[in-house]
A and B are shown apart, each in its own frame.
Chain A
Amino acid sequence: MAEDFPPMTSVKRWLVTTNHKDVGMMYLATAIFFLLFGGVMALLFRAHLWESGGAGILSDSAYNQAVTSHGLLMVFWFLSPFAAGFANYFVPLQIGAKDLAFPRLNALSYWFYLFSGVLLMVSFFQGGTFAGGWTMYAPLNVPTYTPAVEATTGGTATILALIMFTLSITLGTVNFLTTIHRSRAEGLGLWNMPMFTWSWLLTVWMMLFAFAALLAALLLLATDRILLTQYFATDQGSGLLWAHIFWFFGHPEVYIVFFPALGIMFETFQTFCGRRLVGRKWVIISLVLVTVQSFLVWMHHMFLTTINLEIKTLFMATTIGISLPFDLMVFALIYTMIKGRVRFTTPFLFSLGALVLFILGGITGVFLGAVVLDYEFRGTYWVVAHFHYVMVSGVTALIAGLYYWWPKITGKMYSETWGKINFAVYFIGFNLLYFPMFLAWETPRRVFHFAPEMQIYHQLATVGAFVFGASFLIMFYTLGKSLVSGPDAPDNPWEFSRTAEWAIPSPPPLENWDGRPSYASGRLEFVEDTPAATDGGTRTSASTSTSTGTATGTGLATAESAALAEHYGHGHEEEHADHASIWPFGIGLSTLVLFLGISGLTPFVAEFAQGTGADIAPDTDPNILYPIVSIVGLGMLLYVLWQFGMESFSAPEMAVAERWPFEGVGNTKLGLWFFLASDVVVFGAALGAFVFMRLHMGWGEWTTVPPVAWPGLLNTYILLTSSFTVILALVMAERGNKKGLIATLGSTLLLGLTFMGVKAWEYSTKFAEGDYWFSGVEYSIYYVTTGLHGLHVILGLLVAGFMIYKVAMYNAYLEDPDAVEHFGLYWHFVDIVWVFLFPLFYLM
């Protein structure tokens, strides 16, 4: 209940909050922690790189772990979550929403993120964390079958941590997509959204599809490492399969981490140049183009593999193509400065610095796009220097965002002098660290042996690394001092800022504003909706909010008194919103426990496999703690999921909002559609893996696993019938027919169980013949693909069971049948996937 909502000074507040601003702050703080962790890894191996052959700081294996975890931490656990912190805090403010569409899921995204990082940290102590590079190439990532290297439990835990992280991202993307498309203030069309929100919108669109591909790759890798399947362990296409799926994710990922930074640059350039963005329409179009094109360039990471010349040429063309929109955006930023009133504040220094560094990095990327040059740059420090210039230029802009929005979040200002000192040390350290890498570019990646003439460059880079690290200490000092003793910040400390977050107090109140933001008049106003009028009522102009400092209401806004009319406690917006739930924390924690337990199950599976006669020896001794922890985790998870489902949590939809093009569909349904879209990509990747591996072996050479087709056909009829019953269930719910609803939902459940039963029978006959999932790559692919589908069926059955319970005990859905429709949607999706699976595995 909101009345009991704990204050910010209490620990409980942070464990239960679902408010977007709280979640945003938690993301920012946690991301900084992982930045430090990843940075320390870098300092360790840069110190080791002081001499060729290594300066003795790290063992060979530790070096690989440090290099790998540095990449993973920075790319996954720092960059996107840091941006997500800003997005959580400011996107709702910028579009006029009081919170995200699904606040509890938002909190859950955060807890999945935090606990996934905890699992990664634990992995260091489980025999060593993953050591195969952040790109996790195959077959090195499945060492069980390779005698030369060791599989560690920590490596498996790393993969599971990444899976958990991907769950966090997927929930977050569904949340933001629904929010941005359904909760915009009146008068704020898509074109009118601020640039940061635009960049975040496109970021989450990319995330939706890219992370789905990554999830597929990670799931297949996890089954390889835990269940001993052979997707990535063979010399029959495994290496290339991983490369394709991973880079299909990996390339959009680099724009995913850069776009929010770019969005911040668009904001700060406009504010601190006092000019509106030049060519704004074209900038947005460029952003959209990059979003789409990002999925069409991935093979430029594979120019040196065995792909043919025609394909290489195509991807060379698309790669050059994607550099062009960036050219336009860079020029747009430069031209925005012209005829402006440039103020060199700390946020602007960082933004301008980011632009300069990005230009340098981008130019070196063109080198890599020329295939002939890439042939030589492959696997060298040229690549390392290039991507650090572009990605860390993104970090530079994110820091600009931190300095820009710090007063709004904390209500405190910082010392400009110290901010500028921070920037100076940062910029010098950055270039001292990364520029020598271009000069030492012939050094291979992930090595500490290099030619003597390179030593000076590596040493310069090491010195630069420590200078760069020191600049962060300055940043902590500056911001820490601000928190402790800085002057209070006004609502709007920045002259010429235009976006809505500057129209409310620093920091904003829990509910963000009184009334409802509206752009119907052409500018931001806070409207009090009276019961009599459909629009109108008292309007408060944004520019008259109590602002001190340099931001006075310039321009032509009509000044109105800041006094508000009485509240009418009724109707639409007044519906009470909840802000607290402990269950997201519970689900996150339970998942951590479950995944921690699963990470150590491989030796048991290996023993089982050995028992069936397979030639597989466990790498590590079985430790009974792991199965125990898995079971405990599963029990916890089922309990907290139950509680989460039973909890009553109100997240009311905005009564008045811009929703194009999704006017006709409710929030939950839209969110489910987005989720299903990403699930389509997961299955697409899994089925694509099957097609790829089968083509690689020769379509006709492949052993088809199911000996007969009729069980598959039977299951197809069963599932299709169950889709029919679930449609009937919706009809029953709409008619308020409790018994009919239970009967139809129950039939669906029974049909689903029958499906699983037929499946179980099929599997067991194969096992009886000695054909297990580890018996060969054909078997692995059959069991995992049908198993993934089966897992979706099981999850659906659990939900169906839960819903039947709720109908029986609480008469649920009879007044509001939406949930039945949503379940039906999911169930239809599961059926459609089967309709694709069946012919591929049973008929071909």
Chain B
Amino acid sequence: MMTRVDVFEDIFLVFLGLGTLVGIIVITYTLYNAYKYRDTGDAKADEDLPTLGELPTGGTGGKKLFLSFFLSAIIVISLVLWTYGMLLYVEEGPDGNPGDDALEVDVEGFAFGWNFYYEDGVESSGEMVVPAGETVWIETSATDVWHAFGVSELRVKADAIPGETDETWFVAEEEGEYLIECFELCGAGHSGMEGTLNVTSEAEYEQWHEDQRTLTLTFTDAFDEDDEYVGDLEAFEGTLEHADEDDPVETFSDADVEEGVFQLTVEQGDTYEVVIESPDGDFETVELEVDIVDGPEEDVVFEDPDDDEENDEDDEDDNEDETDDGGDD
């Protein structure tokens, strides 16, 4: 299987070699003739020299002109025909247009960064994680103005136009971090509009996905003011619900909480609602709406049932906004 890097290097090298060769030959030939036919003051008396006021006629020597022209035309046309085959390969993709198992990522450019959306609902901002050695199909668009997504090292690029979706693919053979840049002027922050492509092993990739689809709940009830774990968590029953479904996706209780922290992984990243109730009414029911798309962390605060005023616990969140319903407003 040829990666885009392979395709590019092959073609570029040939063009570079041929182009340099042709350039050197033609320019040398030009300069050589300029020197060879420099005016030395000998005028041949019978020569038909150009005179002021004559009507223009073409000089002779057309045959040589046509020979050179056809030669150069053949070179140029053959080169391009050859690349056409490669173009078809690149358009088709290394293993046919995305099969069902293909890894697909939606790339969204905005001023001035990149968001990535995976099929399992995971979202990432600024960093795209993919496994090494696997074909990644990306569909690129933009939310505001025309951007262009590109990873120079992997020879992949796609215009990101609002309202349009540009499809392309790439394969990263080696693990590591690659630079994503924007290749279309998009405003004052265009320069430095960067992102990271993180190429990992298959196992790390799967793990990352799982982490993104994992919600971490920290029960503040089990910690003291110095954030030391003290245990003593109240009993509760919790459910994780999805907007579209009647049955809860998951149920859990205080028994599942380890050292004050409970983690919950879903199959499909999306917006969920966490409901935590006290069976004895010891605290107000906690309702949290969470986007489980990028490994969110939430604090669960148990409020006394009569406490209406205290609601200034802000949740520590990473980088998305959800409504905090840690009490009653």
- B-binding residues in A (CB < 8 A): 53-54, 60-61, 63-64, 67, 131-133, 137-140, 146-149, 187-188, 192-195, 234-240, 270-271, 273-283, 304-306, 309, 312-313, 316, 320, 323-324, 327-328, 330-332, 334-344, 352, 355-356, 359-360, 363-364, 366-367, 369-373, 375-376, 378-380, 442, 444-449, 451, 492, 496-498, 500, 502-503, 519, 522-525, 541-543, 551, 553-557
Contact = CB atoms under 8 A, between A and B. Distances in A.
A798 to B, nearest CB: 40
B124 interface: no
Contacts of A445: 183, 185
Nearest to B20: A363
Contact of A149 (B8, B22, B145): B145
Given A327-B73, A331-B68, A553-B51, A379 B83 contact: no
Nearest to A303: B159
A551 B52 contact: yes
Closest 7 CB pairs of A and B: A379-B183, A280-B58, A235-B163, A542-B53, A524-B53, A555-B51, A235-B162
A236 B80 CA distance: 34
A524 B52 CA distance: 8
Contacts of A137: 145-146, 184-185
B117 to A, nearest CB: 17
Interface stretch (B190-198, B200-208, B229-237, B247-255): B190-198
A366 B188 contact: no
B1 interface: no
A60 B91 contact: no
A367 B15 contact: yes
A769 to B, nearest CB: 27
A364 B86 CA distance: 19
Contacts of A332: 65
Interface string B132-163: 00000000000011101010100101110111
A306 B166 contact: yes
Between A63, A238, A306, A551, the greatest number of chain B beta carbons within 10 A of the residue's beta carbon is seen for: A306
A363 to B, nearest CB: 5
16 contacts: A137-B146, A140-B145, A140-B185, A140-B187, A235-B162, A277-B58, A281-B58, A304-B166, A305-B159, A313-B84, A323-B76, A338-B33, A343-B38, A373-B8, A498-B51, A555-B51
Given A331-B69, A445-B183, A373 B15 contact: yes
Given A137-B146, A328-B65, A371 B83 contact: yes
B23 interface: yes
B115 to A, nearest CB: 14
A140 B186 contact: yes
Contacts of B179: 451
Contact of B80 (A146, A369, A376, A378): A369
B19 interface: yes
Contacts of A442: 152
B52 A503 contact: yes
Given A192-B56, A280-B57, A371-B87, A275 B50 contact: yes
B275 interface: no
A689 to B, nearest CB: 16
B278 interface: no
A132 B185 contact: yes
B102 interface: no
Given A239-B162, A304-B157, A447-B192, A519 B55 contact: yes
Contact of B37 (A188, A340, A447): A340
Interface string B14-33: 01000100110011011101
A380 B185 contact: no
Contacts of B35: 342
Contacts of A355: 30
Given A237-B163, A323-B76, 5 more contacts: A61-B188, A312-B87, A356-B27, A372-B7, A496-B49
A344 B34 CA distance: 9
A137 B147 CA distance: 10
Contacts of A497: 50, 52
Given A497-B52, A555-B51, A447 B59 contact: no
Between B7, B30, B31, B165, the greatest number of chain A beta carbons within 10 A of the residue's beta carbon is seen for: B30
A524 B162 CA distance: 61
A662 B160 CA distance: 49
A488 B86 CA distance: 62
A751 B61 CA distance: 64
Give the interface size bracket for B toward A: 35 or more
A197 B201 CA distance: 65
Contacts of A496: 49-50
Given A340-B37, A372-B7, A445-B183, A320 B191 contact: no
B111 interface: yes
B34 A342 contact: yes
A239 B204 CA distance: 38
Q: Is the interface of B mostly helix, strand, loop or mixed?
A: mixed
Given A304-B159, A555-B51, A344 B27 contact: no
Nearest to B22: A363
B188 A305 contact: no
A270 B52 CA distance: 12
Given A278-B65, A342-B38, A370-B83, A139 B53 contact: no
Interface string B79-90: 110011011001
B60 interface: yes
A497 to B, nearest CB: 6
A375 B90 contact: yes
B234 to A, nearest CB: 45
A444 B23 contact: no
A378 B59 contact: no
B53 A503 contact: yes
Nearest to B15: A367
Nearest to A324: B73
B37 A378 contact: no
A278 B19 contact: no
Contact of B190 (A236, A238, A371, A446): A446
Contacts of B111: 146, 148-149
A716 B270 CA distance: 57
B146 A139 contact: yes
Contacts of A304: 148, 157-159, 166
A557 B164 contact: no
Contacts of B39: 274, 341-343
Given A323-B76, A338-B33, A444 B182 contact: yes
Contacts of A360: 23, 27
B77 interface: yes
Given A187-B55, A373-B15, A555-B49, A149 B166 contact: no
A533 to B, nearest CB: 22
B62 interface: yes
B257 interface: no
Contact of B146 (A138, A331, A373, A500): A138
A446 B191 contact: yes
Between A149, A194, A492, the greatest number of chain B beta carbons within 10 A of the residue's beta carbon is seen for: A149
Contact of A359 (B27, B60, B62): B27
B34 A373 contact: no
Given A370-B83, A446-B191, A276 B50 contact: yes
Contacts of A447: 181, 190-192
B54 interface: yes
B305 interface: no
A492 B52 contact: yes
A183 B151 CA distance: 57
Contact of A376 (B8, B64, B188): B8
Contacts of B15: 366-367, 370, 373
A543 B53 contact: yes
A273 B37 contact: yes
Contacts of A239: 146, 161-164
B189 interface: yes
Contacts of A281: 58
A554 to B, nearest CB: 6
B185 A279 contact: no
Contacts of B144: 139, 146-148
